[in-house]
């Protein structure tokens, strides 16, 4: 959930950290509308990959098509999750390739050479190329409660909306298990075999990892965890109240550093911005650092104040997927890594 280092949506649609940027697009899907949250109206049709297709997204919008979508275009992270369930997309938008041409961390296990990249960065979306794909549906996540589709540019949202209906999966102010379930339902509707061992084993692994984290947090309640992200100018401390991963970890008992609401106001409620001189404002035993390519990675941080932090000196810094790929296969290791870190952490704060 980021742009320009670690920009995140607030309830007012503001993006902070790296400059204020316009909202992504709110794309209105074809078909009827239902204001109730969640729920897929079709599973059997998707399995058969024929006949009509219906899916109700997290905006309460029901998309109805004459057949199961074949030409799918999705935000990179969503495409990566669908890939894990055996559903292939035709085009992607969002962080897909790094500067050296390799797959971005948000692309997961996708072969990025086999998808059409419509835009690799914020505010990039090639509408003309999108049209040539003859898209059946566009799928993205949403980081606000207004139904704004992530990485769909504000300037071209109307043109994009005219070419195909859209599906939005909310990752705003809810626990990780909610969007995981929604993407599971979406993949199933698109024809994925959710009884396949790969899918069921990954879900079981996630559930076991969650129980392990619960036990670790209960056994080590004094271990304090801080979620951070680094830019050249600032260090960002994330609060837990809006992020799907942190909300879930907190519900499992993890003891997080929690910036006060007033301190998070400039970050739209998502995070507090600190100068590098004040990076030691909060005491933490473990630091989870944003692993996205938009953020500076721990090994590349040169600030002396960072290197003096007790958790850094103790080697208790682990990666955090601030925009987790919403498949059980990709989320299970995130839970396991945090559980292991808490189990083995030394009290240094």
pLDDT tens digits, 49-86: 568 999 999 999 999 999 999 999 999 999 999 999 99
pLDDT tens digits, 74-125: 999 999 999 999 999 999 999 999 999 999 999 999 999 999 999 999 999 9
Separation of CA 332 from chain center: 14
- What is d(CA 298, CA 292) in angstroms, rounded to the nearest whole number? 12
CA distances from 253 to 27, 203, 221, 288, 349 (A): 37, 21, 8, 16, 19
Q: Residue 149: how many CA atoms within 13 Å on its side-chain side?
A: 33
Identify the weakest region by mean pLDDT among 138-142, 261-265, 300-304: 261-265
Round the average pLDDT of the chain to a whole number and report it: 88
Question: Do 106 and 76 meet the contact criterion of CB atoms below 8 Å apart?
Answer: yes
Question: Do 312 and 233 meet the contact criterion of CB atoms below 8 Å apart?
Answer: no
CA distances from 146 to 27, 62, 64 (A): 11, 16, 22
What string of DSSP letters covers 199-233? HHHHHHHHHHHHHHHHHHHHH-TT-EEEEEEE-SS
Question: Do 98 and 74 meet the contact criterion of CB atoms below 8 Å apart?
Answer: no
Strand-strand pairing, 137-142 and 166-170: parallel
Identify the weakest region by mean pLDDT among 42-51, 109-118, 279-288, 308-317: 42-51
Average pLDDT over residues 12-17: 30
| pLDDT for 49 | 58
What string of DSSP letters covers 282-340? S--SEEEEE-STTS--GGG---HHHHTSHHHHTT-EEEE-SS--SSHHHHHHHHHHHHH
Average pLDDT over residues 323-340: 98
Residue 266 confidence class, pLDDT cut points 50, 70, 90: confident
| pLDDT for 51 | 82
- What is d(CA 94, CA 90) in angstroms, rounded to the nearest whole number? 14
pTM of the model: 0.87
| Residues making up the chain, counted from first to last | 349
| pLDDT for 50 | 67
Identify the weakest region by mean pLDDT among 11-25, 200-214, 265-279: 11-25
């Amino acid at each position: 959930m980021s742009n320009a280092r670690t920009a995140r949506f607030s309830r007012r649609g503001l993006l902070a950290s790296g400059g204020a940027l316009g909202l992504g697009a709110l794309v209105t899907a074809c078909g009827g509308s239902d204001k109730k949250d969640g729920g897929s109206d079709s599973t059997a049709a998707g399995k058969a990959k024929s006949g009509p297709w219906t899916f109700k997204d997290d905006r309460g919008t029901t998309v109805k098509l004459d057949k199961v979508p074949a030409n799918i275009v999705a935000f990179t992270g969503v495409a990566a999750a669908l890939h894990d369930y055996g559903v292939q997309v035709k085009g992607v938008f969002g962080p897909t390739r790094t500067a050296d041409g390799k797959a971005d961390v948000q692309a997961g296990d996708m072969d990025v050479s086999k998808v059409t990249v419509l835009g690799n960065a914020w505010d990039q979306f090639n509408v003309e190329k999108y049209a040539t794909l003859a898209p059946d549906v566009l799928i993205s996540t949403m980081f606000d409660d207004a139904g704004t589709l992530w990485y769909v540019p504000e300037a071209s949202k109307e043109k994009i909306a005219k070419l195909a209906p859209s599906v939005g999966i909310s990752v705003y102010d809810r626990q990780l298990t909610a969007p995981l379930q929604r993407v599971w339902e979406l993949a199933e509707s698109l024809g994925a075999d959710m009884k396949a061992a790969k899918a069921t084993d990954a879900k079981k692994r996630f559930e076991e990892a969650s129980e392990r984290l619960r036990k670790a947090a209960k056994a080590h309640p004094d271990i304090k965890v801080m979620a951070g992200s680094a830019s050249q100018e600032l260090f960002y401390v994330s609060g837990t109240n809006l992020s799907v991963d942190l909300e879930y970890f907190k519900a499992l008992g993890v003891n997080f550093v929690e910036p006060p609401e007033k301190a998070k106001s400039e970050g739209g409620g998502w995070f507090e911005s600190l100068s590098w001189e004040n990076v030691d404002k909060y005491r933490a035993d473990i630091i989870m650092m944003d692993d996205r390519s938009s953020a500076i990675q721990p090994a590349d941080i040169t600030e002396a104040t960072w290197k003096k932090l007790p958790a850094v000196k103790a080697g208790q810094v682990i990666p955090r997927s601030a925009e987790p790929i919403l498949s059980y296969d990709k989320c299970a290791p995130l839970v396991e890594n945090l559980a292991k870190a808490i189990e083995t952490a030394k009290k240094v704060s």
